[in-house]
Amino acid sequence: MNSIFKYTLAFAATAMLVTACSSDEPGSNEPVFTGESAYMNVQLRAAEDLSRAGEGTDDGNPSTDDLEYGKENENSINSAKFFFFNSDGIYYGQSTIWKDGIEGSTGTEPSIEFNGNAVVILDNLKEGGVLPEYVITVLNGGAQYTDAYMSGKTIKEFSKDITNWGADKENGFVMATTSYYDGTAEHDKYPYATKLTNANFSPTKEAAIANGKPVEIYVERLAARVKLTTPTGQEYFPVDVTVMGDVNGEVTEPDADHPTAGTQLYVKIDGWYISGIQEQTYLSKQFGDWTSATSLTDVNGWKWNVPTFHRSFWGQSIRYGKQTEGGLRFFTFDNPNNKTVGQVAYCNENTSTKANLSTGTPAHPNQRLVTSVLVKATVVDKDKKALNLVEHNGMYFTYERFIAYILDIVNSQNKLNYYTRTGAGTEGDPYKYHQIAQEDGKEIFRLGGANEHVYVEKGKDFPTAQLYAYNNTTMDYDAVTETTLNADLKAANAGESTHAFQGGRMYYNIPIEHLNTRTWDEKHNLATWYEGSFGVVRNHAYTVNVTSVKKLGTGVFKPNEGEIKPNENQKDPRWYLGATIKVVSWKVVTSDVPL
């Protein structure tokens, strides 16, 4: 189909550009314009339509294997704006959909289709006027980019305009011209724009259509797409866990007859959301000071730039190389944006250097600096009943058994030396001292703390009577306050890893992998990785497929309090992705994940 787009340039602006740039006319095949309009035939192309399934590492023929095209509004095009710049990269003008002058038009905008020719009209040209040399195309957005806003703006400034378009939009996803290097000076000067010549313009609409091949404009979504899947929608996963306490009616605390105390529990996948979100993005994918397709260091031979496909598979997000904790957005466990298995979510790109992301020895990505999938889950027993558990230094306890364990520690240190007393202190009614201890059916002690760390504290049924501590020197009892008792209880596991699973709640944090190589050793520790191994890039789709559960996740004590931020030094299999990566439309990155 043919659609017509109209551009109107203010006379004063036109005169200024003609005066300043009359010697910069591009091309040798210059058309002769006798009127005030020029016509350009364009064809909109989605870059991912050319991407083969795989890692984007060769320039072979595109494959149609395992394609997963965008659906519904992911592909809809409701508006198109073309922003033109002269040879010096200075704003020239813009075109929008022309609602008038189309035969049979009812005043509504004509539909826009990929791979359908469209004619862009540049109005108010003067004979001999200079034509633009570059165009940046924005689909489904850009209304704020008025002539007043754009006046005097350079193409570099415009490409770095800060937006927040990496989310689901009812009127369609914002798309912009793709960024890539093709090895030519003309294109690579502004790799995020489409290079034009005077030969691309014609004096009439008919001539533009008949002129042959239209100007191909390749666009990509600013958003990245993320999805969590399980095999056939599986909800429960079995996991073998050793638990100190009575679980499933079995003897689960080690003893002479049961030295291992293993029990079969289940992990129920409750949903997921994107964690560590970059809240802003550039209008165009940026390459910073990279000057060619080979200037990115530490790529391990990865062909991140593929001019045959008119796109790149890596770029620099707004905090590239300077990501810090606090630069990304995290959420409480009960995030209202929770998605079910199979649903999709969207976010802005988030990339950085390996040096910026590295932490620990050996180096691994700091999980607080990368965008992740946070899987929400519940640990349940064989009857699918949620369990209140505590993980302490890698060991699992029921709530009751953990409280008893801590009280035993404090008591062994002669620090649970607290008593209440009865009696009048007379010969007929002497004082009687009663050591404070946990009682069945009462909450003398309970868990306190936060998601990051829990400890034991006094409970709602803790005695309100005056407390006493036995004094070994005087061989008598001294009146004391609760302050010392609370401090002793809290100190019993201070500095040790202790998480509670309130109502069985827990999470798995899975850093999103990108396309560059990464390997793990036999212990599932990350062995090698490079820039581009982890990150989120615009117009890519990431599918994390949970295939099994090897151990419990990180417990959540207060689901409505505090942002869930993963341990930046976490290296165990809870975030290990056994990745079989396929790159398909969007581009989709599929990872099989044993949790």
Residue that terminates a domain, selected from 496, 522, 545: 496
Range of the domain at 179: 3-221
Instruction: Provide the pLDDT for residue 212.
Output: 65
Residue 449 is predicted with a pLDDT of 95
* Residue 289 belongs to a domain: no
Q: Residues 122, 150: one domain?
A: yes
pLDDT at 103: 35
What three-state secondary structure class fits 520? strand
Asked whether residue 331 is assigned to any structural domain, the reply reads yes
Q: Answer whether residue 304 is part of any domain.
A: no
On whether both 9 and 132 belong to a single domain, the answer is: yes
In a domain, residue 17? The reply is yes
Are 355 and 422 contained in the same domain?
no
Please tell me the predicted confidence (pLDDT) of residue 107.
36
> For residues 392, 509, 579 and 73, what is the CA-based torsion angle, rounded to 10 degrees?
160
3-state secondary structure 197-259: CHHHEECCHHHHHHCCCCEEEEEEECCEEEEEECHHHCCEEEEEEEEECCECCECCCCCCCCC
361 and 470 part of one domain? no
Residues sharing a CB contact under 8 Å with residue 557, sequence separation 6 or more, in sequence order: 447, 449, 450, 451, 454, 499, 500, 501, 502
**Residue 37 sits in the same domain as residue 127:** yes
Q: List the CATH number of the domain containing 274.
A: 2.60.40
428 and 545 within one domain: no
Give yes or no: residues 402 and 332 share one domain: no
Residues 194 and 342 in one domain: no
Identify whether 43 is part of a domain: yes
What pLDDT, on a 0 to 100 scale, did the predictor assign at position 11?
28
The rounded distance, in Å, linking the Cα atoms of 104 and 102 is: 6
Could you tell me the CATH number of the domain that includes residue 164?
A: 2.60.40.2580
Distance in angstroms (rounded) separating the CA atoms of residues 546 and 550 = 11
**What pLDDT sits at residue 6?**
47
The number of folded domains in the chain is 3
Please report whether residue 301 resides in a domain.
Answer: no
8 Å CB contact between 554 and 510: no
The Cα 126–Cα 511 span in angstroms is 56
The whole-number pLDDT of residue 338 equals 92
The pLDDT value recorded for residue 551 is 85
Question: Is residue 114 included in any domain, yes or no?
Answer: yes
Neighbouring CB atoms inside 10 A of 486's CB total: 15
**329 and 422 part of one domain:** no
| Token pair for 98 | 């022309």
491 and 541, same domain (yes or no): no
Which residues of the chain register pLDDT less than 50? 1-29, 31, 49-67, 98-111, 126-127, 251, 256-261, 573-574, 576-585, 587-588
Same domain, 535 and 518: yes
For residue 306, tell me if it sits in a domain. Answer: no
Could you say which of 496, 514, 543 is where a domain stops? 496
